[in-house]
Amino acid sequence: MLFNSFPFLGLVLVTFLFYYLSFFSRLQVKLLITSSLVFYAYEFPALVALLLTSVAINTGVSYYVLFGKAESKKMLATVGVLVNLAILAFFKYSPLFAHTFFGTESDVGRFLLTIPLPIGISFFTFEGISLVVDLYQNKFYTAEEIAGLTLTKHAERTLFFVSFFPHLVAGPILKAHDFLPQIGRKYFRDIDWEAAFKYLVVGYFLKMVVADNLKDFTFWIAYPYYQNFSSVTLLSMLLGYSMQIFADFAGYSAIAIGLGKLFGYSLQENFNFPYVATSFKEFWKRWHISLSTFLMEYLYIPMGGNRKGKARTYLHLIITMFLGGLWHGAAWSYALWGLLHGVALAAEKLVGLDRPSRGGLVQFARGLFVFGFVTLAWLLFKLPDFAHVVGFVRSVGQNWAQPADARLIAAILVYSLPVAGYHAYYLVRQRPLVAPVRRLEYLAYGLLLFLVVVNSGSSGTFIYFQF
C-alpha cells in the first residue's frame, strides 16, 4: 500500500476520524495497531505472521532482560540480538547466500531463492534490536516507564512501537528510547497542524512530482539500455538518479513524520539537506540520519568507536559502513557502496578533512567533490549487478562521440531543479535579503500542492521499500 495511493489515504482518513473521538480515547494505541496491521497485510497478508513473530520474540526477550534474573540478562540480550540478525539474514540474504555459496542450480540454492523478502524487514528487525539493547542497558528510563508492569502491556507497546504504520516499511528507524516514552493518550487540540501540513506537502511533492517523474528518465540507466546513450546523456541520467533517490526517500520520510504528527507522535528527522555537505562526515550527519545514528549507537560505539587508537577508529568506520551498505540489499554491490563510504570517511579523518573548511572557494570545491563521489556511488544502488556497473562506466568512457539526447537531458534538469533549489534555499535562508521572501512561504506550499495535483508522475514504489 503506497503512501500516494487511494487505499492508503482512505485508511489514514478512517483511522484519524475515529482516533480522537472520546469513545476511543482509551483505545487509541489499539486502533493504530489495527490500522498498521491492515496497512502491512494489504498486499501480502501472510507476511504479517513474520512481523508478529518478530514482535513476540522481542517482547519476551526484552521483558525478561528487564525483569528477569540479573545473571541471565546479558545472555538473554545477546540471544535476542542474534535472533533478530538471524531472521534478517534468512529472509533478506538468502539469495546472496545462494549465489555466493551454493549456486542457483543446487537444491539448497533453489530453495534459498524461493524465500520471500518481506517489506520493511530491515527496519523492524533493527527496531527489535534497539528495544532489546535499550532495555538491557536501562540507562534511558526506569523499568516502569518503558515496559509497564505486565507482560501483556509490554507486548502491546512493543507491537505498536514496531508496527506504527507511517514508519513501518521504510523508516525512519525508530529507537525504543525515543518512541516508547511518547506512548499515551493524545488530544486533537495538541496537533501541530502547521508542521504536519508542511511535512506532508513537501513529502508528497518530492515523491510524486520529482521522484516519480525522474524515474521515467533514469530508467534508461538499466542494462542494456545504457549502451545506446551518449556519455553526456549517461552522466545526466546519473545526476537525475541522485536527485531521484533523495526526493524519493526524503519524501517518504517527510510524509511519515507528517503523519506521525497528526496522531501525536514525533518521528526522528531523517534528512537535513545532505547535498550541501562539504565532507563525508557531514554527509552522514545529514543523510538517512536514523540509520547513521543507529549504526553509531548500536555498532560503532560498542565496537570501541574512537576510543582504541587511530588505526582502530579507521577500521571501525570502515566495518560500520560496510555492514551499513550490506544492510541495504542482498548484493555485494551494496556492501561495496558501504565500503567506499567507509574508506572515504576514514581517509578524510586521516588527513583532517572531516572538519569544516574556511574560505568559500575551498568549501565549494569540497562540497562539489563530496556530491560527485556520492552521486557516482549511487550507481551501485541503481545497478546491483557489478558487471552492469562496469559496463555503464565503460559506456561513459566510450560514447563521447555520440550525440546527446537533448530532450532527455532537459527533462532531467527540469525535475532536478526543485532538489537543487531546495538545498540552495537552505544555504541562503538566513541572509537578510531572503527574510522578506520567507513571508510568502505559504504561497510556495500552495504551489507545491498544486503541482502535486496537476504534474505528478506515474505512481511508483518507494525505492527504499526494497531495503
Place of cell 555485494: 332
Q: Check: CB of residue 207 under 8 Å from CB of residue 256.
A: no
**366 three-state secondary structure:** helix
The residue with cell 524461493 is: 114
Give ∠ CA 170-176-177 in degrees, rounded to 5.
130
Tell me, what amino acid is at 95?
A: P
DSSP structure class, residue 188: G
Q: What is the Cβ-side half-sphere exposure of residue 305, based on CA atoms within 13 angstroms?
A: 9
Which of these, 244, 204, 202, lies nearest to 381 by C-alpha position? 244
Provide the strand spans (E) within 100-141: none
Q: Which three cell numbers stand for residue 315?
A: 577500521
Question: How far is it, in rounded angstroms, from Cα 11 to Cα 41?
Answer: 13
Instruction: Tell me the helix, strand and coil percentages in the chain, rounded to 5.
Output: 75, 0, 25
Rounded to the nearest 10 degrees, how much is the dihedral formed by the CA atoms of 296, 300, 305, 308?
180
328 is catalytic: yes
Please count the CA atoms within 13 angstroms of the CA of 175 that sit on its side-chain side.
19
Of 328, 341, 388, 423, the active-site residue reads 328
Could you count the other beta carbons within 10 Å of the beta carbon of residue 164?
Answer: 25
Question: Would you say 83 and 57 are in contact if contact means Cβ atoms under 8 Å apart?
Answer: yes
Q: What is the dihedral of CA 148, 171, 285, 346, to 10 degrees?
A: 100
Give the Å distances, CA to CA, from 232 to 21, 92, 235, 241, 397: 57, 36, 5, 14, 10
Using the structure block, give the residue that is written with the C-alpha cell 520529482.
210
In angstroms, the CA 5 to CA 15 distance is 16
| Short-list 22, 38, 55, 16, CA closest to 185 | 22
Residue 76 half-sphere exposure toward CB, CA atoms < 13 A:
23
Q: How far apart are CA 346 and CA 388, in angstroms?
A: 28
Residues forming the active site: 328
